[in-house]
Amino acid sequence: MTATMITETESAERRHKPRKKLNEIVYINLHPGNGGIVLDVSESGLSFHAAVPIDRERVPFRLSLKSLDAVEIVGKLAWKDETGKSGGLEFANLPDAVRNQILVWLDHPRFAPFHTQLALRSPEINENGGEIRRTIDPTPPLATPSVVSRGPNLRTKLFISAAVAAIGLNCLMALRIRHFVLDRANEELAAEMHRAMLASQAVLHENQTALGRKADLLSTLVAVTPDRNSAVQDAIDNPLLNDGSDLVIVADGNSQITAFQTSDWNMTAATAREMLLGSLRSGEGSDWWFVNGSLYQVVLQSVDHQPSAHNTSGIVVVGRRVDYNDVQDLAHILASQVAFTHAGKVIASTLSPLEEVGLSQKMQYKSAPQEIQIGQNHFLISSLKLAGSTGPIVGFTILKSHDETTIFVNRFNHLLVQLAEVEACVLIVFLIFTVSERRPITRDGLEVLRQSSNQANAGTETANSHADDAENTIRQ
């Protein structure tokens, strides 16, 4: 292969495009096993100084720049000096990435900074054909400052993810707390219902015991009184004996009423005998009678203190009517709504008339607590069967309102919703701020840029000095 021997002066005379000396050291990798530095560049080629003489015309090479290290370029040897180490390459193929880098080195207008672009503007001509000279502010116009959009970085993304996760965990924890509070409230309500039922049984049993003592006293009086018809009637009319009793009956061994006293004008001796026969058939020592809209708690006691079902000596009955005051006192003791029912209908209660109708429609005699809705109100109810083995059922029902629990849970739900809304608003505001973040270029920012540019120019001059030294060393 014949090497082209052209001096550098002759080559400069043949160049169609100007070359520029680089302000930085750029190494060139010449295949195979050869390398050097780039001395100057143009749009069509470059000159170099290699460590080993070049002996072929077509030379593949690479530039030792980080962005171009993997890009292979092919050049044609245009000239070389006597040593064969220095020469010029004419680009045979030039990738776009390499072309752009060369244009940057050559200060091409497309890649020139703002001040260079101002200098390259075409002059303005006035009407007389003269050039209009304008004073150009060296700083870029600030009327419409450049805005740099910055997307969320990794730290921002991690923060957003952590915020979303925290909100999700807070909502989940709030829901679990809500369920826990609701379960605890229901358990507490059921426990209160159980205590109220035990207390009601104790109150009714106490009333029964008081009636039993009066019946026992009256049966003893009947047993020791020879003339029962007059003496007994006088005895049961005694206020000391019938105090707290609304009904007193004395019957003989044939269940014929021999003495009768009542505070209810609707109660007649015939009705009382009919109710007595029903109680004797049940064989119980106590019973509940419903007569003409009035409910009585009664106790039966035989004169000879034998079982009333097989008694022939006579029966004494003492009863107490359940009135409005009794129901209110019982509701106050139990801290609940209460109702007495007969054959599924409410006959005495602390409920409103509409609620009484609703309870009568949904009445079930179950001791286990159950939830029902009466109108707009929710209740937990429990019922006690008082009588009815041989006739209509008489029952006692306790109602615990769910309203207080519902109000508490609703307030808690409202608090959770407000907490979720606040957290969501904070996250949305943060997302909007992060996504739409803009940082305008101000005069202060330009001053910082100028200082940075001056520092960069100083660094470039230092790099040029080191490049010259390295070139001199290689030439030697």
d(CA 224, CA 378) in angstroms, rounded, equals 56
pTM more than 0.75: no
- Over the stretch 387-412, which tens digit does the pLDDT of each residue have? 877 778 899 999 988 776 677 777 77
Judge whether residue 170 has pLDDT over 90: no
Report residue 337 as tokens. 């709504």
Banded model confidence at residue 239, pLDDT cuts 50, 70, 90? low
Judge whether residue 146 has pLDDT over 60: no
Judge whether residue 423 has pLDDT over 60: yes
For residues 129 and 403, the model is more confident at 403
Is the separation of the CB atoms in 321 and 264 below 8 Å? yes
User: Can you tell me the mean pLDDT for 238-243?
Assistant: 55
- Over the stretch 290-311, which tens digit does the pLDDT of each residue have? 998 899 999 999 888 777 666 7
What residues are paired with 63 via a beta bridge?
A: 28
Judge whether residue 438 has pLDDT over 50: no
Which amino acid does the sequence have at 88?
A: G
3-state SS assignment for residue 8? helix
Residue 43's pLDDT is: 86
d(CA 386, CA 288) in angstroms, rounded, equals 7
Angle at 263 between CA 257 and CA 268, to 5 degrees: 40
Report residue 4 as tokens. 């082209």
CATH number for region 8-114: 2.40.10.220
Banded model confidence at residue 463, pLDDT cuts 50, 70, 90? very low
Query: In terms of Cα–Cα distance, which of 89, 79, 99 is closest to 31?
Result: 89
Angle at 258 between CA 252 and CA 262, to 5 degrees: 125
d(CA 272, CA 249) in angstroms, rounded, equals 8
Residue 340's pLDDT is: 94
Query: What are the b/e assignments for 70-92, b being 16+ CB within 10 Å?
Result: eeebebebbbbbeeebbbbbebe
CATH fold match for the domains 8-114 and 202-326:
no
Q: Where are the domains of the chain?
A: 8-114, 202-326
Residue 136's pLDDT is: 46
Q: Report long-range pairs for 26-33 (Cβ below 8 Å, ≥24 apart).
A: 26/63, 26/64, 26/65, 27/63, 27/64, 28/61, 28/62, 28/63, 28/64, 29/61, 29/62, 29/63, 29/64, 30/54, 30/59, 30/61, 31/59, 31/60, 31/61
Give the strand pairing for 247-251 and 286-291. unpaired
Q: Which of 114-123, 146-155, 284-293 has the highest mean pLDDT?
A: 284-293
For residues 368 and 117, the model is more confident at 368
Least confident range of 15-19, 71-75, 439-443: 439-443
Judge whether residue 154 has pLDDT over 60: yes
Residue 185's pLDDT is: 79
For residues 382 and 17, the model is more confident at 382
d(CA 23, CA 468) in angstroms, rounded, equals 9
- Over the stretch 201-226, which tens digit does the pLDDT of each residue have? 999 999 999 999 988 888 888 887 75
Residue 396's pLDDT is: 93
Q: What is the mean pLDDT of the chain?
A: 76
Question: Per the CATH hierarchy, to which homologous superfamily does domain 202-326 belong?
Answer: LuxQ periplasmic domain, N-terminal subdomain (3.30.450.220)
User: Can you tell me the mean pLDDT for 220-240?
Assistant: 64
Residue 350's pLDDT is: 92
Judge whether residue 114 has pLDDT over 60: no
